Chains A and B, each alone.
Chain A
Amino acid sequence: MAELSYREAVRDALATALRKDDDVFIMGEDIAEMGGSMGVTQGLLDEFGPARIRNTPISEMAIVGAGIGAAMQGMRPIVEIMYEDFLTLSLEQIVNQAAKHRYMSGGQLKVPLTVRTQGGAGWSPGAQHAQQLEAWLVHVPGLKVVFPSTPSDVRGLLYASIYDDNPVVFFEHRTLYGLKEEVPDELERLELGRARVHREGDDVTVIATGRLVHEAMAAAREAESDGISVEVVDPRTLQPLDEETLVESVKKTNRCVVAHEAITRMGFGAEVAAVIQYQAFDWLDAPIERVGAKFAPLPFAPVMESFVVPHAEDVLAAVKRTVGK
C-alpha cells in the first residue's frame, strides 16, 4: 500500500489511463508545461508528449466541445476546466450536447468524455474562484457526476470515469489536494454509484460530500465525547446516487444530517433530504438537518469566507439538534 496525496492520486489515475490506452488524452488551460493551475498534471507532458497533453486557448466552450467531438469519434478525452466557476461557460456543450447525444441518436453515438474541474473555499480566492456548483450538473439527465473526498476514492473513481461510456463531470476539491491516504497498489475502477461509509454509528447519519466529509468526521469524534454515536457516509458519486446505502443507514440511526460546502438552498443536500424523507419517513425520529454555505457570494476576506462556509462545528450543532441535545 502506498500513501498518495489527493493530487498525486488524480495524477496516478490520469497517467495509468494514458499509459494503458492510446485513446486517452488530456486538454485544458495551462495543463502542459505549467502542469495545471493546481499542479495536478505536472510531469505528464514529459512522459506523454504534446500530442496527448494539450494546452488550449482560454475558451471553456471550445475545450468541452472539442472533447465531445473527439469522444464521439472513439477517443476517451479528459478535459480540465481550471475552476468549476468556469464550467458556466461550457454548460451549453455539457448540458445540451454531451448529455443529449446518446439519447437523441437512439444510442448510435456515445460520449465517453471526462470533464475534470476543481473548486472549494478555504483559501480566500473570492466570489468567482471557489464556488461549489455540483448541484447544477446533477439536475441534468445524461450526465454522471462524481465528487470524491479522499485520495483512494479520487483515484479509483477518476479511473472508472475515464472508462465510463457516458459523459462524467468530475469534481475535485481544492483544499483536499494535499490530503494523504493509503491507496491500493493496483489501481482498480471504483464503481460509480457506490457510497462509502467512513464511520459507523448508531444515533445520527451524516451524509456529507467533499471537504465536509472531513468536517463531519471531526464533528463525529467530538460528538462521541458527548455520547452521540455518528455514522458518516459519503455518496462519492452524486449521479448515480447510492440511495440504498443512504436510506439503510438512516433506517438504522433514525436521524439524518446532510452536509456540503455548496450553498444550502437548492443544494445537493436538498435532494438527499427528499430521498431520505420519502424512503425512510417512518424511520425518522427528527427533522433532517441541512448544513451548507449561507446564501451569499463567497467573500474575499478570510474571516468572512470562513463565516459563510460550513465547518465541523456546524455539523456538530446540527447533529446535536437531531438528538435534541
Chain B
Amino acid sequence: MATEIKLPRLGQGMESGTIVKWLKSEGDQVEKGEPLYELDTDKVTQEVEADASGVLLKIAVEEGEVAVGKTIAVIGEQGEEVAQSADGDSGGDDAQVEERVEEEGSPGAAREAERDEGRRAAAAEASHGNGGARQPTEGRVKASPLARRIARERGIDLAQVRGTGPDGRIVAEDVERAEKEAPAAPTVAAAAAGEIEVRRLSSVRRTIARRLTDAWQAPVFQLTVSVDMTQALSVVERLRTLHEQERPTVTDLLTKVSAAALIRHRDVNAHFVEDEIRVHPSANVGIAVAAPQGLVVPVIRGAERLAIAEIARARAELVGRARDNNLRREDLEAGTFTISNLGMFGIEQFIAVLNPPQVAILAVGSTEERVVVRDGGFVAVATMTATLTCDHRAVDGATGAEFLQTLKTLLEQPALAL
C-alpha cells in the first residue's frame, strides 16, 4: 500500500516548514531512513528522512511553505495508483492513510549473508598480511565497531557517511546505504598530487551557503566604533578571580553588555520577516562558533537576565556541544542578535554578514593597545573595534548608531550596565 509522506512537526510550535528541495525524484527507489528532502524551519535547515521504503510515486509539493501534517509525497510500489488525496489538499486526512504492512526481509537475515562475505574477506585480508592501504579518516568519527569493520572491508570512508544512530553515530545500515549510494568507489583511489579534491557539501555547509546568500540580498549598512576596553578588561579580570570555575571571557562580557543595550534599543533586537518586523522582548544572543562541521550559532537565551558567570557557563556548554557536533535543535533556535568575535585571531576589524531573520550582527575585533590623543597628549589605550551590520529594511542609521553608542558606553563603564 502506498504511504503518504506528511510534513512532520519537528519542534514545539512548528506550524509549517519550507521545502527547499527534493533529494529524490519521482520514480526513484527510496529506502526508509534515507534523506528524502530538505526542509527549512525557522532556524534550522535539515534533511528529512523517508519514513517508508518503496518508489517515490509522487511529489505533491515541489517546494515552498507547507503546513504541518499536509501530504507532500507518496511512496509505494512501482505502478501503484496514487490516491486522490495525495494531490496535496488532504490536510490532516488520516483516514486515507493505511499502514504499510508489506513485510520486508529481516534485516538480521539479510545482514547474515553480508557478514559471511565479511568473514571471508577478513580471512583473505588476514592471509595477505596487512590489508593494504587504509585511509585514516581525519578527526574522530563516531561509528559502531560493526560499521567500522564493514567500512574497512569495503573501502568506504566513514567521514563521507551520515550517521543515523544515537548522537549521530554511524551504524552498519548507514555504511550499507552509503555504499549503495556511492558511485564506483572514488574514495578508494587517493587523490593524486595536484588533482582537485571535490568535497560534497554537507548539510551544514549547504545551509550556511544558502542562508548567507539570502542574507546578501538584504540592504545592509555598517557602523564602526572603537571602544576603550580598559575597564572592561579589569572587570573580566576580577570576574575570573571571583568565578574560577566559569572563567568569564571578554565574549561573555560582550554578550551581557549587548543584551543590556538590546533591551534599551529594542528595535535592534528584532526579526525582519516578509512584511513584518518582530520586536523581541528578550535578548537571545547568538555566538558564532567555528565548529568542525562549519559555522554554527548557538544561542544564549534571555542574556539580559543572566549574571556573567551564568553566561560563561552557558557559553562553555554550548561551545562544547558545538565542537562535539552535539548541538540540539533548541540550542540554535530563537536567536535575536548575533555576536561574531574574531579578536582571538588578531583580526582588528571586520564586517559580518547578517544572520537572517535577525536585523543586526556585531563583528568584534581584537583588543590591542592603540595610541590615542587624550588631554593634548598621547596615551596607550586598550582598544577594541566593533562593527555593527544592520538590515536597513528594519533598522535606520540613527537607530543602529544609538545602539552602538550605548554598547560603547556600557563597555567603557561596565557599571552602567547594572
Contacts and interface: CB of A to CB of B under 8 A. Distances in A.
Contact of A285 (B106, B109, B112, B147): B147
B96 interface: no
A201 B107 CA distance: 11
Nearest to B164: A324
Nearest to A251: B115
A324 B107 contact: no
Given A251-B115, A324-B164, A286 B107 contact: no
B107, B146, B148, B172: which has the most chain A beta carbons within 10 Å? B146
Contact of B108 (A203, A281, A284, A321): A203
B145 A324 contact: no
A282 B150 CA distance: 9
Interface in B129-176: 144-149, 164-166, 169, 171-172
A102 B99 CA distance: 64
A246 B109 CA distance: 18
A163 interface: no
Given A286-B165, A324-B164, A324-B171, A229 B144 contact: no
Contacts of B115: 251, 283
B172 A202 contact: no
Contacts, number: 47
B146 to A, nearest CB: 4
Interface string B206-249: 00000000000000000000000000000000000000000000
A25 B147 CA distance: 55
Contacts of B107: 202-203
Contacts of A283: 115, 145-146, 149
Nearest to A253: B108
B147 to A, nearest CB: 7
Interface residues of B, number: 19
A33 B147 CA distance: 61
A253 B106 CA distance: 11
B174 to A, nearest CB: 10
B146 A202 contact: no
B108 A286 contact: no
A283 B153 CA distance: 13
B177 interface: no
Interface in B80-113: 106-109, 111-112
A203, A229, A253, A283: which has the most chain B beta carbons within 10 Å? A283
Nearest to B146: A285
Contact of A254 (B106, B148, B172): B172
Interface in A233-277: 251-254
B146 A229 contact: no
B112 A254 contact: no
Nearest to B122: A282
A286 B171 contact: yes
Nearest to B166: A324
B61 to A, nearest CB: 28
Interface string A181-208: 0000000000000000000011100000
B145 A284 contact: yes
A202 B171 contact: no
B165 A324 contact: yes
Contacts of B166: 286, 321, 324
A251 to B, nearest CB: 7
Contact of B172 (A229, A285, A321): A285
A229 B106 CA distance: 9
A120 to B, nearest CB: 32
Contacts of A284: 144-146
A286 B148 CA distance: 12
Interface of A: 201-203, 229, 251-254, 281-286, 321, 324
Given A285-B147, A285-B171, 8 more contacts: A202-B106, A202-B108, A254-B111, A284-B145, A285-B172, A286-B169, A321-B166, A324-B165
30 contacts: A201-B108, A202-B106, A202-B107, A203-B107, A203-B108, A229-B106, A251-B115, A252-B108, A252-B112, A253-B108, A254-B108, A281-B145, A282-B146, A282-B149, A283-B115, A283-B146, A283-B149, A284-B144, A284-B145, A284-B146, A285-B144, A285-B145, A285-B147, A285-B171, A285-B172, A286-B144, A286-B171, A324-B164, A324-B165, A324-B166
Interface of B: 106-109, 111-112, 115, 144-149, 164-166, 169, 171-172
